[in-house]
Structure 1
Amino acid sequence: MSAAARVAERVRDLDTPEGPGRAHVCRPARSHGTVVLGHGAGGGLRSLDLTVARDVLVGAGWTVALLEQPWLVAGRRVAGRPPTLDAAWVPMVTDLMSGRGRLPRPLVVGGRSAGARVACRTAAELGADAGLLLSFPLHLPGRPDRLRDAELALAPDPTWLVHGARDPFGTPEELAPYLPAWATLIEVDGAHSFPKGSRPALVEALTRIAGMLPR
């Protein structure tokens, strides 16, 4: 049984200007802080990297909140445009981190793919203390001329990236010149989505990161 399975998951519906969002929160009895992670544009919360991140971080004593964007809660298959994703993300995270029952700081923001982009764009507004990016999409496949390096530059200090060695959205070698000085990249065998065989490497990478997150 995983550490996350041993910690009860609390599901919270959250209001946003884009419609209802949802948070899946696992909070250990004694928490070092909170890691909030968003999903990608093509799927939900069951991707291998998000699942491993939740399990490892909860096991290391961190509260983990996996957030569902309103478009996914509503059952739509296509994500909204970046401004709508940001407009939903900020109030969801703010709600979790404020008021009665607020989650503990420090706050680590991140996610996989499109969720990683959202976390970078909104980190300053949320006062994030660190970042955790999974498969950051530097460019669309076959379009290295259209980079998202300006978003990556907005990642909080410090930030860690877990990235597939053969990611068609930008390999680790492509990412390297655009990494902020405060960002650390950990390469894992895989592409943009990680196969089941990548689990041991993901566990190792995220265990290392869990030990370095600011407390």
Structure 2
Amino acid sequence: MIVEVDEFEVPTPHGPAVVHLEHASYCGGLLVLGHGAGGGIEAPDLLAAATSAPVPIAVARVLQPYRVAGRKAPPPAAQLDEAWACVLTELTERFPDTDQVHGGRSSGARVACRGAVAAEKRPVGVLALAFPLLAPARKDGTRPDRSPEIDAVSDAGIPVLAVSGDRDRFGVPPVAPHREVVTVRGDHSLKAKGPVREAIEPWIARFFPPLPQGLELD
């Protein structure tokens, strides 16, 4: 089965986002992934997630406008969310009858969680890689708690898989209703692609149907 690779821009109020899309003639689902704050779409855990489904799916890795423009520092959350929503609208038009799983790593996981609750077409699941439960310490030593962002997804009844390194300095989300948590050896970077993929495979397989009878992979 031939996999096609497309890269295209999506206009947003904050400049163009760039989508790297891989898909085959048969598409059993759509996985949309966002990157970390200062990183890109080639992060090891994103690449592991992109190959975790048991059937051919479309995988869209999304580069936010500020990274397209060459900046490392992310803008306010509202701008990230608006750009993400524009990308989701475009992808839903391209795959109108396809179940979607949204996700990302670190900052991208936060965006995916916030966007899942607000999306017009809600995802069937959310994949939170290295979700940063606690913000970096402020000057007074306090660390704001970001758990409401991931809790809102579970509260909405959307299944969540959180995959974190067991030495993640930003913390690990706890198990909750509609939320599974897997820790693998490593830190916030989640560089071990094999263990990350193994953690995702059984979870993501629930959302995408098996190949139609008579259709075989090359």
Q: TM-score, normalised by structure 1?
A: 0.86
What aligned pairs does 1:171-182 form with structure 2 within 5 A after superposition? 172=172, 175-176=173-174, 179-182=175-178
Match 2:59 to one of 64, 69, 87? 64
Higher share of residues assigned helix? 1
- The whole-number CA distance in structure 1 between the counterparts of 2:4 and 2:98 is 20
Flag the 1:147–1:214 CA change in 2: closer, same or farther, 3 A.
Answer: farther
Q: CA deviation at 1:39?
A: 0.4
Unpaired stretches in structure 2, ≥5 consecutive residues: 210-218
Task: State which drifts further: 153-162 or 78-87.
Answer: 153-162
- The whole-number CA distance in structure 1 between the counterparts of 2:21 and 2:35 is 14
Unpaired stretches in structure 1, ≥5 consecutive residues: none
Q: State the Cα RMSD in Å.
A: 1.9
- The whole-number CA distance in structure 2 between the counterparts of 1:73 and 1:133 is 23
Aligned residue pairs total 201
Q: Which has the larger radius of gyration?
A: 2
- The whole-number CA distance in structure 1 between the counterparts of 2:142 and 2:200 is 28
- The whole-number CA distance in structure 1 between the counterparts of 2:14 and 2:136 is 28
User: Partner residue of 1:159?
Assistant: 160
User: Partner residue of 1:147?
Assistant: 145
1:10 aligns with 2:6: yes
What aligned pairs does 1:84-163 form with structure 2 within 5 A after superposition? 84-98=79-93, 101-102=94-95, 104-126=97-119, 127-142=122-137, 145-155=143-153, 157-163=158-164
4+ runs deviating over 4 angstroms: 141-145
Q: CA deviation at 1:8?
A: 2.3
Structure 1 residue matching 2:41: 3-state secondary structure: coil
User: Partner residue of 2:213?
Assistant: none
